[in-house]
Structure 1
């Protein structure tokens, strides 16, 4: 193929692409092809947590359970061995009926039988208490709450003169008969409890064990110290945490990233902030900080956890406190973060004033020892001794220091790199300049020339080892398992997206040759962290709520509820909190609500749109028509700074103070400074500076060279799509149709057309527009025809990344390709073979039964009848929960057994080695096998068997149909998101498998559909056979392999 430009629209679950032919001047001349690749983002659909986190958490729970069972088995065997437990299982079972709390109390003063003592020791193992871990504590917000609960429990033991936890718990309920359950106090933490009203630590159990052993050893000489130590090891041993791996430094080869807890890192961060500060005077002129001012602010921040801008201005002098503000100061940001570490270490019960006498190196050495990930017990004891000896500290202070809660954040630089950059930050240079002066300016450069232009672009981790984390070159092969060998980017969504990008570009290169240019646009889910995305989504939800409220107000005053009127109303509310004082910020003319929606008042761009290309709300206000005309395409200062007739610039600034600070700044004299150079503005719009955009851009530079790759920030993509009339290609109106996956291809086309020459056309179009941001826009290129693009889109088949895994391979590797069944374990009540039904039982929290239907499932007829009477006719969930909660408080009933009926084919019975069993609901289906019997009544007729995930993972599992019809022929095996073709109304239709049900029904949707309000109609295998259905392959470029066409 001739020279072409590749446009990429890369999202969290989608990759739209477009090939545009270029002329000799690298200008677009023709749209060649578009496509869309859809894939999963590696996150849970509801919580958005990475699936590997969910799997890791579940694996951790399983391992903890396995270790507990292993520990219990070791303990029982050892107790039998030393004569503290009977060998006979029946006799051991009888010991279970003895109240262990009674034995734990009696054993402190009186002689127990050996078996009773064994029963007591066994009970200590069942709940051995929380063991604090100083590394874990620093990361777990819940730990401080636990520690408070532990402290309160210790105080309660002292107050009640309880020698041990067991004695305290026994005395809690010793005078209450068993029948009074509702008045009994809990003796252990409930998993569902939201507080830690009873939370013992490991030491309480260990102390109790020591006292019990001490007493009983007086009666039994055979209870030796060796046996005691062995029991302590079995019951109380806990493995150490593995050291936390850190990524590689961005600048220094072989150096690991540094924790922000280090004194060097704290000062590094603070100096970056200070060097970005400037002061704004009354006239809003900007003044750089002097060296003396920087020193004052640095000194203040190094001794505080945070400092308000107001307090920092006071330190600079009365004049600055009164007449100046910092450039970073706003309603949302009131302070600067100080030195967290020093703030903690400077406390009197830590280092106190001694901390300030230490050098940076000494401080970092101490922090390094505190952050040590090795054996906690030994390291902590050694560290406390070292602190006492080297710094003459009291032991209590040393203990506080050893357990200090320090910053959890990790920098992308090593301490060595920071140390090299710090002198230049100290001199007042900004971060970028400091890096350059330290010799780090070229460490992250993309290649100037193409390096992989034959479809051989390697895994990103090989090229960006500093961005990839946790590689293991010793245990893995770079060819077979590159992700494990080189490591990967921490964000699983970005990792998957970059891999899909590589596969697409390699396939395009093999098919059409390497692209001459590549243009990228990344979705915010990839560019921003989860916290930032959550914040944006939270603001969007807030805006939807505001829009709804404004819509109601507009209806009340008989004004049409549309986007423009809602915008006017929002901007009007910003002018002042008092609606009678809302006025044009330029002229001061009052804007009453009844005139707001007339032509007298207009939406105005504060800074000229023709020079800033900014059409966002932050650059808009409401102005009187005449003021709007007088201002023209100028900034407020340019138009009114010289106080023309009817305008006073100082009054304008005073009125602007009522606006949000990010708008107020646009009225300042230097507001246009950022937009002086039009070429620079266009370059910024063609350069997305977010970290992930830089990584993707650098990755693509290996294909066509640094200067032929750019990533856009997407600021104008939606407007270009609209002005070029591209929205109409997929919908009947002029709005974007997100329900059609092909909208990603349309976006990719816009991205491909976004170059410097396009942006110059946009600039001219904005300059020629008066009423709208852009009135008209020339087409993407000469001879562009909508009908040709529509035909290309109509011919596009969406490609779906297979994500079903290989169950047989997973079995051999002792893994799974999905969750086998749901988590809840059920007991059996009854089975009705004829109806194919099974009734199961499970205990649930009473307050979780938030509907009449769920209350009807309660097994106890008396409780069920009472609650149905109390909730009679009630449908409100909150009211039902309140009724249940009140009933629970009155009766002491917290949990109830419920009976639920399920279809036999949707549950599975799972037994352990001893024959104990539980029932579980099957979760997902692995696949659907469609086969054709060649014997009997069903010979030649397609049949189907749905294979659940659980059965697909059984060793040597064979589908039921193969056992019953060994001569039958398999027609196809379908997985979710597989593509099928069939004939309908005289043409071939391409459909995607959306879901399959246990009863053999298949649900297909058009391959283009991204989301639908309702499920499609089910398709039977009979219908599929009648339509000549077949499984087709669709590669990453959307090319279809139809077996019908290859015959």
Structure 2
């Protein structure tokens, strides 16, 4: 790569699933190079899905292992393993075995059944339901508990099988209106006890059954690896379990997820709900407060102790602001330095968990203030680390020897009250260990210092500096290990890979500016939802403000539209007027709607905190006021202005804002801001809030880039800025943002790259911080400017030709898309589909159909689905074809009963409410039953139907199944191999799915036999030449040699297996095509923007376009002699 020695600025716009970047000449402002990298976002939800499937596989594997071990035990002791007689169920054998002799084969069947389905591992009182099902779950568990006092699980299950025809799932008596739901939930101990009773009875008949045999057999039924142990053992070590490959052993697998304290690296981070963590958080917040009425603006030790005492002893919920006001003898406007929550309200730690737990235990006349602090800390850890009640019980039982007061009654109470210990935030673990906080707490109590100062003074703050002097690139792996949000981590990795490539080409970097992604959203979908919600709320307020204003001003629609058109700022003024309830906040006077409409020059929009201080040009820093008030206020805060005796007075302003429900909390805080804006530290805090991004991940990135540039002895200045700053520049320069394509990421990156060159920074402060800590920025500040001067210098274009350059750069933007080549992904949807071969509708020959199911014909919504199918084609119902007599009973109900019922409303009117006719029949005569000569058939609840013809599927039918077939559908495509047929002069393609892959001898791939089979199925000739392999996200260029036209697209996948050569393609510069868009010689796409076409035709030439991380293209027509990833004989890639 040829180096460019020019001095440049580099900007990064890092998003959730994209990174825009731009390189701009510092001297000329010329855009030298720009691009966008697109990739799937990292999501926690996908990790969770993979974990759940992995857990399911592990449970199945362990079940097979238990069954295998029991078979060995049985055979060693002379009990032959035989197939079950179909006329006898295992439940019958288990019940008979309690009272009479079983044959050896029958006993084997009974024991294998018990070891296969052996119940839940904890007691029934510890079992928990989820969501809407919780009430019925608890009710069912209560029923099972009572029954187990007299019966074994086998006896209960056999009774239900004989009475209801099923055991598993939710069982309900259809004859009873409000019958309880019965669930097959029994504890493992009950199954073990049943096995013991069976074996003790059978011991009377078989000498082979010894006490040792009974012990070994029941041990297999109860055998369970603790979930916190994980896989592996002392002899077979793995880093996925507590037996680590480095020889160490963890007490609990989840310890590695907790993380270690950076101050004391050998100490685990403390639980966020521990007493020590809560006290530390409270003191840290109290020390950050500034209170005007106090001598040095800080709370004293005695005042802090008074607050702690109040929080520890109160039985009423505490409002922290009210408590601090009382202790400090101050007004709310005198207090600052607190955090703000999402609802724009003051957020100060209040030991909320301690309060909740104490209140809960006081109901049992137990005061947790009497418990030792170390016990409260351990309790927090136990309840955070363990999720199941049984595990909590086991952990607490082990603590009984250390704490005399901890008895079984208290353990039970703690388990029942565990929800009181739950944190509402995601921060279950504190960033510090108990050891660190125990050192800091006395210092925080006795002084007004904040944590960073104390750590520095104690010599505990060690900067983790990376020496890059002998390295040519950022250590991306080390950097991203410290970013815990998976979404942000993936985005930062992409950005740093791009930086490493750019640094090779542009070693002389003047400014390096980064904008980080928002870390609240989980992925692109969540981000879009948040954006749409914000937009909806914004539009709603705009509409309400215009409607109210128009009514009070007494003007017509056309008058309002004309006035808004002529007076550019009128729309904003109306919205501010609406938020302020028609009042001027400075004078307190009413702003009449008609005055604002006809003489809006009498009113001005003012920045509450001067722009050159706040760097906030957003709505929360703007108000509508009388012009003379704006002139008098000048570059002061409302507090500073009113303290000089002008305006309506600060107390009147406070009262006005208190009664205003329309104005945001952020705007109210700006209006009530009382600190001195000439104070350097105050101004730095505004920069931290509105200009420089001080979030955790942002600080990690900033510090790493600073270390890299300093190690290289470069004069590069690095900063991480907030998105609203660049958004305002874009808005002011009228660079409309279209999210329909990916180009806007590169445009944003260019704005970010030129932002350090704004005229404002030349004489007034800097955008580049020397150091950034949490909410603290070490940065140079400048003089206070008028809003007019600020806006002139902030928004003046740094380069005269910038807008023209941006306008023409669209065709120069380079795109890089992440290609997905991974082989061991999900092969299909997890749903198992039943299938049948049948002739339905116009079928001439039997076809394989996937079955659907109406789960409850008595339910109104399910009946609606039934009726749709019935009206369209009733032959789709299996019952209509296989059991016509029963189907006739259903049809008779449809004819005789209506699909509505008339209900009298409170106003006396009668309203028709939809209802299932089957439900009306059930209420009158009981559930519909299957046809039987004596009319004693089983009740019908569900009905199956032929849903759709089966496509590509994996047959997972058990070998024991008869006349039935079950499959997995929606097979996921992995790769498409492209061949060229020299005889026909056409390309031929074959699609390989994840389901075709195998894992052999330590490698993933496809066998030669399966590969050849797909070739034949897809019609690829034996003598065709292999050209290339295409994965999802690969870029291609297709040339029509007849017309010399060409088009570049992204490859999606081989699709529609029934049609030869069809693929799905996507555009490079946007997510999908527009509705019915014309794509060169391929023609029009579908109305929903989907491009599914025959890939190539005679006369087409195909090139694969490989791109590096910067999007530089490399065109190839053939990439190898043979395809890759063929596992056995044949091709070798």
| Alignment TM-score, normalising by the size of structure 1 | 0.78
2:761 equivalent in structure 1: 760
1:717 shift after superposition: 0.5
Of the three residues 86, 107, 117, the one matched with 1:93 is 86
For the residue of structure 2 that corresponds to 1:991, the secondary structure is strand
Of the three residues 444, 447, 450, the one matched with 1:430 is 450
1:56 shift after superposition: 1.6
2:985 equivalent in structure 1: 940
Q: 5 Å matches for 1:848-887?
A: 858-861=877-880, 862=887, 883=916
1:780 equivalent in structure 2: 798
Cα distance in 2, alignment partners of residues 569 and 952 from structure 1: 63
Cα distance in 2, alignment partners of residues 786 and 82 from structure 1: 88
1:1029 equivalent in structure 2: 1102
1:458 equivalent in structure 2: 475
Cα distance in 2, alignment partners of residues 663 and 286 from structure 1: 28
**Is this contact kept in 2: 1:346–1:353, CA < 8 A?**
no
1:784 shift after superposition: 2.6
Q: 5 Å matches for 1:700-849?
A: 700-705=705-710, 708-725=717-734, 727=735, 735-755=736-756, 757-760=758-761, 777-781=795-799, 783-805=800-822, 807=823, 816-820=824-828, 823-830=831-838, 838-843=848-853, 845-846=855-856
Change (3 A) 1:103 1:33: same
**Is this contact kept in 1: 2:827–2:993, CA < 8 A?**
no
Change (3 A) 1:986 1:536: closer
Cα distance in 1, alignment partners of residues 1062 and 751 from structure 2: 40
1:887 shift after superposition: 7.6
1:668 equivalent in structure 2: 672
For the residue of structure 1 that corresponds to 2:263, the secondary structure is coil
Cα distance in 2, alignment partners of residues 256 and 898 from structure 1: 57
2:47 equivalent in structure 1: 52
Cα distance in 2, alignment partners of residues 750 and 1003 from structure 1: 35
**Is this contact kept in 2: 1:980–1:992, CA < 8 A?**
yes
1:480 equivalent in structure 2: none
1:268 shift after superposition: 1.9
Q: 5 Å matches for 1:136-151?
A: 142=130, 149=137
Q: Aligned-residue CA RMSD in angstroms?
A: 5.2
1:256 equivalent in structure 2: 268
Cα distance in 1, alignment partners of residues 372 and 828 from structure 2: 57
2:587 equivalent in structure 1: 587
2:642 equivalent in structure 1: 640
1:505 equivalent in structure 2: 499
Q: Does 1:239 find its partner at 2:225?
A: yes
Cα distance in 2, alignment partners of residues 232 and 437 from structure 1: 61
1:523 shift after superposition: 1.6
Cα distance in 2, alignment partners of residues 286 and 195 from structure 1: 66
Deviates most, 378-387 or 1004-1013: 378-387
2:1130 equivalent in structure 1: none
1:20 shift after superposition: 1.8
For the residue of structure 2 that corresponds to 1:827, the secondary structure is strand
For the residue of structure 1 that corresponds to 2:878, the secondary structure is coil
**Is this contact kept in 2: 1:313–1:321, CA < 8 A?**
no
Change (3 A) 1:415 1:184: closer
2:692 equivalent in structure 1: 687
1:477 equivalent in structure 2: none
Change (3 A) 1:362 1:1025: same
Q: Deviations over 1:687-706 (max 9, x none)?
A: 21011111222232343228
User: What are structure 2's unaligned runs of at least 5 residues?
Assistant: 230-252, 551-556, 766-782, 881-886, 901-911, 928-938, 999-1005, 1078-1084, 1086-1090, 1120-1133
1:295 shift after superposition: 0.7
For the residue of structure 1 that corresponds to 2:264, the secondary structure is coil
2:623 equivalent in structure 1: 621
1:535 shift after superposition: 9.9
Q: Does 1:1008 find its partner at 2:1060?
A: no
1:958 equivalent in structure 2: 1011
For the residue of structure 2 that corresponds to 1:716, the secondary structure is helix
User: What are structure 1's unaligned runs of at least 5 residues?
Assistant: 44-48, 188-192, 468-488, 577-581, 728-734, 808-815, 874-878
Change (3 A) 1:650 1:272: closer
Change (3 A) 1:277 1:889: farther
Deviates most, 984-993 or 887-896: 887-896
For the residue of structure 2 that corresponds to 1:665, the secondary structure is helix
Q: 5 Å matches for 1:300-311?
A: 300-302=310-312, 307-309=317-319
How many residues are paired up? 961
Cα distance in 2, alignment partners of residues 517 and 327 from structure 1: 32
1:1041 equivalent in structure 2: 1114
Change (3 A) 1:300 1:263: same
Q: Deviations over 1:542-566 (max 9, x none)?
A: 6505624753784695355999777
1:1004 shift after superposition: 3.6
1:978 shift after superposition: 1.4
**Is this contact kept in 2: 1:822–1:923, CA < 8 A?**
no
1:388 shift after superposition: 4.7
Q: Does 1:415 find its partner at 2:434?
A: yes
**Is this contact kept in 2: 1:453–1:514, CA < 8 A?**
no
Q: Does 1:4 find its partner at 2:8?
A: yes
Of the three residues 397, 400, 405, the one matched with 1:384 is 397
1:481 equivalent in structure 2: none
For the residue of structure 2 that corresponds to 1:517, the secondary structure is strand
Q: Deviations over 1:572-626 (max 9, x none)?
A: 45445xxxxx533233333455666552655443333354221223223343455
1:830 shift after superposition: 4.1
1:736 shift after superposition: 0.7
Cα distance in 2, alignment partners of residues 843 and 112 from structure 1: 40
Cα distance in 1, alignment partners of residues 431 and 1035 from structure 2: 43
1:206 shift after superposition: 3.5
Cα distance in 2, alignment partners of residues 397 and 785 from structure 1: 71
For the residue of structure 2 that corresponds to 1:946, the secondary structure is strand
| Alignment TM-score, normalising by the size of structure 2 | 0.72
Q: Deviations over 1:920-949 (max 9, x none)?
A: 2233222333322234xxx22223333333
For the residue of structure 1 that corresponds to 2:432, the secondary structure is coil
Q: Does 1:153 find its partner at 2:146?
A: no
